[in-house]
Amino acid sequence: MTISPAPVLETAARASDTARRCAVEPDRFGVHLRAEGVEAMVHAPRAVSVDLCLLDLGADGTWQERRVRLHRARWGRWAGFIPGVRAGQVYGLRVHGPWEPTHGLWHNPDKLLLDPYARAVTGTLEVVPAVYGHQVDASLKGRGTMRDRRDNLGHVPLGVVVDDTFNGDPAQHPRIPWETTVVYEAHVRGLTQRLPGVPEQLRGTYAGLAHPETVAYLKDLGVTAVELLPIHAKVSEPALTTRGVSNYWGYNTLGFFAPEPSYATAAAQEAGPAAVLDEVKGMVSLLHEAGLEVILDVVYNHTCEGGLDGPLLSWRGLDGAGYYLHEGITHTAYLDVTGCGNSLDFRNPVVVRMALDSLRYWSQVVGVDGFRFDLAVTLGRRGERFKPDHPFLVALATDPELSRLKLIAEPWDVGPDGWRTGQFPAPLAEWNDQFRDAIRTFWIADAAAAVHGNSGNDLRDLATRLAGSADLFAHDPPPDGRGPVSAVNYVTAHDGFTLADLVAYDHKHNDANGEDNQDGSDHNISWNHGEEGLTEDPEILAHRRRTMRNVLGTLLLASGTPMLTAGDELGRTQHGNNNAYCLDDETVWVDWHLATWQEELLATTRHLLALRRQHPALRPGRFEVPDPVRPALAWYDEHGASMTVERWHDVHRRVLQMYRRPQQPAEGSDALMVINGAANPVRVTLTSAGADQFRLVWDSARDTPQGQPGSDACADAGTTVTMPELSMRVYLSC
């Protein structure tokens, strides 16, 4: 149904229903319920006046709008108390002031704006000229910066007043230690859209994610935290909408406080925004009951308004000069360090507060356990330069509640000096791209070189990543460094090839995206093992599957915090698409109908995670002070002898033994990881520098795990075994 605006019942010029002055200025931005109405406060420092617009849908399908003038308060704020307003009230903002885009001033009262602090949203964005603050033609191309005077009501999302009273219990948070954390990155819709056992009406929803079938799978797999791709309210970029696709991943935020309603069940959407919020809270609560943490991927680095030629939806119309980062001292161009058209300016205390308020809301009211910060370098920039002591990062470290959460930085953006892996302060952990590249290089790129008779890299980088990336996360002497658990190790993520595609494609195949295969990275560090894409060649398939097992073994048993991308444990494919952000179909939904080899890969993943969980030697929580008598970590070559400088630098050496002891002697068995990256079988002598005997608990050359640890007989240290080509083994001391 098309809903058209009706004449305003009361104009701003004669707003006799002006909001009452508050006896005390509100201490919260946004619109919040009180006993007899709502309290409102908004930041618009350069405005002349601000109207809170109350909207009711008439019987004829048109909006009835009542404008209520807010009072000027301190520090650029506008506030008031409006009696009689109840939960469920739809509202927006109209801002009066100068229209001077060259000075960052985009005030246009003909455009109804979304409250940046809205706890719920209703309606969709229609990509029509009326949603732009400046004049555009039918193709949405701008004609200068002339103000557009068409009303956008009926074409834009609106805020909804909800009861956001805290009703949870922080004590219910699982509070899983970093040392035992295993992160599972998933999309709310994609994880359960095709999951058998989840009722049809719950698939692809918040409720479906918390369904017993989903929860049982996650628990059986062995992960401890679900990291969800953005669930903040979103809109698709106009360019995607005009192509007939959508922003499936969700990295185009419309509201930092409102949940995305399209992920709720049809029943919740029909019942209204309060029911959508309740479904999100219910999802978090049920996952907590199962002992699983919930981490949200959050996008505070930019907004959905895009570049200066984008629509006028919220922040730009309130304070375009203050919310966004501009080039130099003028406001004629954005400084786009995100690659998304705009970047929020974290020099502005209002921007810092908005992000912190959002984090506190989601953690203290909704109940989530942590956040992964997309393009986090932007959040620590003072203009062009990143600063580890940025006020936002200091606030995270010093806030008594936020600092206790799991905080994970994506340590880069596309701006100057934007790659900052290892440079974020505690308590933040970081996505470890150095681990990703090292593991892909050793098991995929260098393996391809070895198969073709060429040499690759030496073993130093592989060993550094296996040991927890001390070069990045131990700047201070042990034990005062950030520790290996600050490295969130991953080999794949939502962005890029899946694990199955890493071993099946040399090149990206993004034709379905509609961008002539120009989007997505060309640096994949992948190898098709002899044939591009699908094949029925049994030898190629066998090698691909062993490589996947090698990668999973290295990822899940290395020091650090492992992150597994949903579906990699099943061999999920996107058919070579490494940038499927705009596809919402079977390409990106997890397919749960498994072939035999996929069942075997899943069994392998479960086995590896069980080993990690049961044996502390495989998951050290800190970097140890070197101990020559009883080292917690030691390295040996294929002969069982200690690695030397010459061996570390030899690009022809492809065999490595990593010996680990638990950091507390009473914590269990020692672990020995043996890696053969050569293209031929190698005889390896198990080192005799530690335990007297070992039992084999996992061999990547086997299609399935060989059973529970201890099922194999013990072998004496010093025994020589034959390691198949391109394989790895894990032994535990007897």
Distance CA 513, CA 580 (A): 7
User: Cα separations (Å) of 135 from 141, 142, 146?
Assistant: 8, 6, 6
Degrees to nearest 5, angle at CA 117 with 115 and 122: 60
Phi/psi of residue 663, nearest 5 degrees: -70, -20
| 374 carries an active-site annotation | yes
Q: Which of 71, 208, 92 lies closest to 151, judged by CA?
A: 92
Determine the residue type at 342: N
- Cα separation of 204 and 440, whole Å? 31
The tokens for 468 are 């927890």
Q: Are 446 and 527 in contact (CB under 8 A)?
A: no
Quick one: which of 163, 188, 375 has its CA closest to 283? 188
Helix pair 212-221, 596-614: axis angle to 10 deg = 60
For residue 71, the 8-state DSSP code is E
Q: Tell me, yes or no, if 200 is annotated catalytic.
A: no
Q: How far apart are CA 635 and CA 690, in angstroms?
A: 11
Give the 3-state secondary structure of 377-411.
HHHHEECCEECCCCHHHHHHHHCCCHHHCEEEECC
Contact present, 264 and 271 (Cβ < 8 Å): no
Of 185, 279, 410, 568, catalytic: 410
Helix H or strand E encompassing 439: helix 433-440
Write down the catalytic residue from 374, 600, 670, 699. Answer: 374
DSSP string, 339-390: SSS--B-TTSHHHHHHHHHHHHHIIIII---EEEETTGGGGGEETTEE-TT-
Q: DSSP string covering 588-608, please?
A: TSPP----HHHHHHHHHHHHH
Q: β-pairing, 406-409 with 429-432?
A: parallel
Residues 6+ positions from 503 with CB-CB distance below 8 Å: 444, 526, 527, 528, 529, 544, 547, 548
- Nearest Cα to Cα of residue 425 among 468, 396, 464: 396
555 Cβ neighbours under 8 A, 6+ residues apart: 439, 489, 490, 491, 562, 564
Active site residues: 374, 410
